[in-house]
Amino acid sequence: MPPRNGGTSGRTRPTRAQTRRRVLDAAFTVFGQRGIAGSSLDDVAAEAGLTKGAVYSSFTGKDDLVLALIEEHAFVRLNRVIDRIGDVPDTQSVLADVASTLVEAMHVDAAAHRILAEYFALSHRDPERREALRRTRATAREAVARGVEQFSTRTGITPALPPEQMAVMLFALSNGLGVESAIDPQAVPADLLGRVLALLVARPDTDGAASG
């Protein structure tokens, strides 16, 4: 497949979606390496091989771009989990599969945790940023809550908390463990998240009928 960089005469110009994707990928690299405060949209444009105007054609500014990255990261993690859920032999197997998927994301997407942590710090004394971050995370939590309901339907596993609260717990666990793992990888065993998730769910109906 020939490259589509849109920079050479006679080549197909990138679509709006392709330009947006290039900007997001470049921003993830730049913000992950240099930090949000230490980067500019000029840096992002250079990394993407685009003009600054092309960046502004997709995002209103740096905050808009950062929030899009934060939201996308949450959806990517959710989709990874949903895609891995299939026919599973038992509760422990599916929980282990979900946990391993989230642990993989913690290590692969360490830069995303740094970006979220830095933006949270930047928003602490900025009400406008804080409200924008709240809205972004609320949207992500709603999507994760729907994913929890879908997970429960497909597996027969009933969370011990309502889907909305499970979404909060999943974010808190994966973000918190991601930070701790980045500080000291040896402190976070690979199976820790799976063991915690097991405490937050009930057995499928077929497993739990013998309590009487």
Q: Do domains 15-59 and 62-200 have the same CATH topology?
A: no
Is the model's pLDDT at 194 over the cut of 60?
yes
Q: Which CATH class, in words, describes the domain spanning 15-59?
A: mainly alpha
Q: Which two tokens stand for residue 45?
A: 């444009």
Q: Which of 161, 29, 142 is nearest to 78 (CA)?
A: 142
Instruction: Give the separation between CA 73 and CA 188, rounded to whole angstroms.
Output: 21
The superfamily (CATH) of domain 62-200 is Tetracycline Repressor, domain 2 (1.10.357.10)
Phi-psi region of 68 (alpha: psi -120 to 50; beta: other; left: phi over 0): alpha
Residue 209 predicted with pLDDT over 50: no
Residue 8 has pLDDT above 50, yes or no: no
Is residue 156 a contact partner of residue 87, using CB atoms and an 8 Å limit? Answer: no
Q: What is the pLDDT of residue 202?
A: 61
Cβ–Cβ < 8 Å for 129, 66: no
Residue 164 is predicted with a pLDDT of 94
Range among 79-88, 125-134, 170-179 rated most confident: 125-134
State how far the Cα of 182 lies from the Cα of 188, in Å rounded to an integer: 9
Q: At what angle do helices 163-183 and 110-123 cross, to 10 degrees?
A: 110
For the segment 81-126, what is each residue's pLDDT rounded down to a tens digit? 666 665 555 566 777 777 777 777 666 677 888 899 999 999 999 9
CB 22, CB 14: distance < 8 Å: yes
To the nearest whole number, what is the mean pLDDT of the chain? 82
The domain limits of the chain are 15-59, 62-200
DSSP collapsed to 3 states, the chain: CCCCCCCCCCCCCCCHHHHHHHHHHHHHHHHHHHCCCCCCHHHHHHHHCCCHHHHHHHCCCHHHHHHHHHHHHHHHHHHHHHHHCCCCCCHHHHHHHHHHHHHHHHHHCHHHHHHHHHHHHHHCCCHHHHHHHHHHHHHHHHHHHHHHHHHHHHHCCEECCCHHHHHHHHHHHHHHHHHHHHHCHHHCCCCHHHHHHHHCEECCCCCCHHHC
**Single pTM value for the model:** 0.76
pLDDT digits (tens, 9 = 90+) for 20-79: 999 999 999 999 999 999 999 999 999 999 999 999 999 999 999 999 999 988 887 777
**pLDDT for 89:** 53
Residue 92, pLDDT score: 66
| Residue 210 banded pLDDT, cuts 50, 70, 90 | very low
Confidence band (pLDDT; 50, 70, 90) for 211? very low
Distance CA 15, CA 136 (A): 25
Query: What is the pLDDT at residue 1?
Result: 40
CA atoms in the 13 A half-sphere facing the CB of 190: 6
Mean pLDDT confidence for 177-190: 84
